[in-house]
Amino acid sequence: MRYLKRGCWLQLFKFSAVLGSLWILFLLSQLKTGKSPAYILKYQWLVYTDEDESPEKVCNCSAILQGEKEALLQAKLLTITKDFQKVIQIPDEYYINATQDCRKFQKSRKYITFPLNKEEEDFPLAYSMVVHHKVQNFERLLRAIYTPQNIYCVHVDKKAQASVFAAIKAITSCFSNVFMVSKAMNVVYAGWTRVQADLNCMADLYNTSTTWKYFINLCGQDFPLKTNLEIVQALRALKGGNSLESEEMPEGKKGRVSNAHQVVDGKPIGKTKDPAPFNLPILSGNAYIVVNRGYVRSVFEDKRIQALIEWAKDTYSPDEFLWATIQRIPGVPGSTWPNRKFDMTDMNAIARMVKWQWHEGSEGSLQAVYPECKGHHVRSVCVYGAGDLQWLIEQHHLFANKFDADRDPIAIYCLEKYLRHKALTDLV
Ligand SMILES: *[C@@H]1O[C@H](CO)[C@@H](O)[C@H](O)[C@H]1NC(C)=O
Ligand SMILES: *[C@@H]1O[C@H](CO)[C@@H](O)[C@H](O)[C@H]1NC(C)=O
Ligand SMILES: *[C@@H]1O[C@H](CO)[C@@H](O)[C@H](O)[C@H]1NC(C)=O
């Protein structure tokens, strides 16, 4: 050291100063493009790669997300190939076996097992997941939304196949913050039990943890359009408000609440119902909600809501008006005043993107709410194909319904890849 003359020290100092500024310039340029390869390197093992052996890996997802015709056509052709249809099926037993070694399962499926940053860590969420079949769909959904700071309640329909129940139970047992609902229902389409399933999870979530900020309910065929960080940021932007469809009841649906819908000896009997308790105005909405903890507390503690719940038990499809009605009861945290001026449509709420067949239309049509479904329809709802992704990821909704890993796994594959890449690059 003492051989180094003063001049040399100065040269060395200048040299490192130049290196330092080059490094800062490099960091700044990375900031500008919004990409930080340093972070990708940091969590390299969590990136979804072609080595993951997914049968969908032959697809070019960046081309698909940009809506390139050639890539979409290839994806469509692959989807209808018999061999492909065969390899994408995963039997329920696979999950039971694969989860025997939870650490191995979490690692091979690349679950994110630590909070990616403080902002997400400080804003835990509570999820209710109501499922009755399609275990692969469920597992891919769970993996897409899983973080250790959130909590997840899973309701498997009482009449689900035994193997479905066993597989989902096995998956949940690998995570301390994912649990099976304490009381499972036999869910009947358009009946009260659909609401009760969510209510049971809501109660378990409310009782299990006091720290979560928002409640989100999902079904097994939903999939996120945003990363956990983006979801947290969107919820913080609500500033305590809830976000769900809540609008005036259309004439055609009024019969659902003016008559009782009881089934006696297999036959529906209709009888006129009294108006709702406390003269509460009944609003129209859907089953999917994004609500704060105070809304959930009100559901269990507010006398008006308790009476509304009792009153709603013999109505038709109560899931499509109960949450929307609670959202307009004065005093409920995050609610809005029950004046029509405060109505919110499903397109303006962030809870769920559902493409109904009768609202679809050709691109540029002013009557159409959204472009035509590129997948297929089940009960007038679009089950998304790869061709729907480019439009979907532009929407503000946190989740979209429906996806089907058995029919169009490429849509899920490209979406999960896109979200994981985003989660690992958009670190704050
Ligand atoms: C995938 O598509 C993108 C966008 O068109 C293109 O730039 C890229 O070269 C393609 N990758 C492969 C492996 O074909
Ligand atoms: C069960 O899982 C283990 C690894 O966890 C694997 O080696 C084995 O082949 C699996 N067995 C079956 C029948 O899938
Ligand atoms: C929470 O748990 C307590 C004690 O088991 C119970 O009395 C209460 O009803 C539960 N609350 C909800 C909302 O389920």
Ligand 3 pocket by C-beta < 6 Å: which residues?
A: 203, 206-207, 300
Same domain, yes or no: 383 and 421 = yes
Look at phi and psi of residue 125 and say left if phi exceeds 0, alpha if psi is from -120 to 50, else beta: beta
Same domain, yes or no: 373 and 408 = yes
For 378-412, how does the pLDDT look when each residue is reduced to its tens digit (9 = 90+)? 999 999 999 999 999 999 999 999 999 999 999 99
Other beta carbons within 10 angstroms of residue 122's beta carbon come to: 13
Is residue 187 situated within a structural domain?
no
Is residue 168 situated within a structural domain?
no
Q: How far is CA 210 from CA 111, 214, 233, 328, 335, in A?
A: 24, 11, 20, 25, 21
259: its two tokens:
């008559």
Same domain, yes or no: 393 and 321 = no
Is residue 268 pLDDT above 90, yes or no?
no
Q: Write out the catalytic residue numbers.
A: 320
pLDDT at residue 363 in the model: 78
Domain finish residue from 342, 361, 384: 342
pLDDT confidence of 2, banded at 50, 70, 90? very low
Same domain, yes or no: 360 and 322 = no
Is residue 102 situated within a structural domain?
no
Is residue 264 pLDDT above 80, yes or no?
no
Nearest CA to ligand 2 atom 1: 97
* Rounded mean pLDDT, 170-178: 98
Is the distance from CB of 326 to CB of 219 less than 8 angstroms?
Answer: no
Q: Is 60 a pocket residue for ligand 1 (Cβ < 6 Å)?
A: yes
Q: How far is CA 238 from CA 137, 150, 156, 158, 296, in A?
A: 29, 19, 31, 35, 16
Return the best residue to mutate from 200, 204, 207 for the ligand 3 pocket (most ligand atoms within 8 A of CB): 207
Is residue 209 situated within a structural domain?
no
Pairing between β-strand 376-378 and β-strand 370-371 as defined by DSSP bridges: unpaired
Same domain, yes or no: 321 and 377 = no
Is residue 98 situated within a structural domain?
no
Q: How far is CA 79 from CA 42, 381, 382, in A?
A: 35, 20, 17
Where in the sequence is the domain holding 417, given as residue range(s)? 37-88+351-428
Is the distance from CB of 328 to CB of 337 less than 8 angstroms?
Answer: yes
Is the distance from CB of 90 to CB of 136 less than 8 angstroms?
Answer: yes
Q: Name the nearest CA neighbour of 190 among 322, 354, 351, 327.
A: 322
Ligand nearest to C-alpha 109:
2
Total count of domains within the chain: 2
Ligand nearest to C-alpha 181:
3
Domain finish residue from 342, 362, 397: 342
pLDDT confidence of 339, banded at 50, 70, 90? very high
Is residue 312 pLDDT above 60, yes or no?
yes
Q: Tell the burial category of 96 from Cβ atoms under 10 Å away from its Cβ (0-12, 13-18, 19+).
A: middle
* Rounded mean pLDDT, 338-342: 96
Nearest CA to ligand 1 atom 12: 60
Domain finish residue from 298, 316, 342: 342
For 231-255, how does the pLDDT look when each residue is reduced to its tens digit (9 = 90+)? 999 999 999 999 999 999 987 777 7
Distance, first Cα to last Cα, the chain: 41
Is residue 164 situated within a structural domain?
no
Same domain, yes or no: 312 and 395 = no
Return the exposure string of 226-256: e unless at least 16 CB atoms fall within 10 Å of the residue's CB, then b: bbbbbbbbbbeeeeebbbbbbbebeeeeeeb
d(CA 301, CA 295): 10
Same domain, yes or no: 311 and 391 = no
d(CA 238, CA 50): 38
**Residues 288, 88, 50, 174, CA torsion sign:** positive
For 58-101, how does the pLDDT look when each residue is reduced to its tens digit (9 = 90+)? 899 999 999 999 999 999 999 999 999 999 999 999 999 999 99
Is residue 200 situated within a structural domain?
no
d(CA 384, CA 170): 28
pLDDT > 70 fraction of the chain, expressed in percent and rounded = 88
Bridge partners of 411? none
Return the best residue to mutate from 97, 105, 108, 163 for the ligand 2 pocket (most ligand atoms within 8 A of CB): 97
Same domain, yes or no: 356 and 315 = no
pLDDT at residue 96 in the model: 98
Indicate the average pLDDT of the chain. Answer: 90
Same domain, yes or no: 259 and 290 = yes
Same domain, yes or no: 315 and 358 = no
Is residue 398 situated within a structural domain?
yes
pLDDT at residue 51 in the model: 79
pLDDT > 90 fraction of the chain, expressed in percent and rounded = 77
71: its two tokens:
């890539």
Question: DSSP string covering 214-235, please?
Answer: EEEEEETTEEESS-HHHHHHHH
Same domain, yes or no: 315 and 362 = no
Q: Name the nearest CA neighbour of 165 among 133, 142, 190.
A: 133
Ligand nearest to C-alpha 91:
2
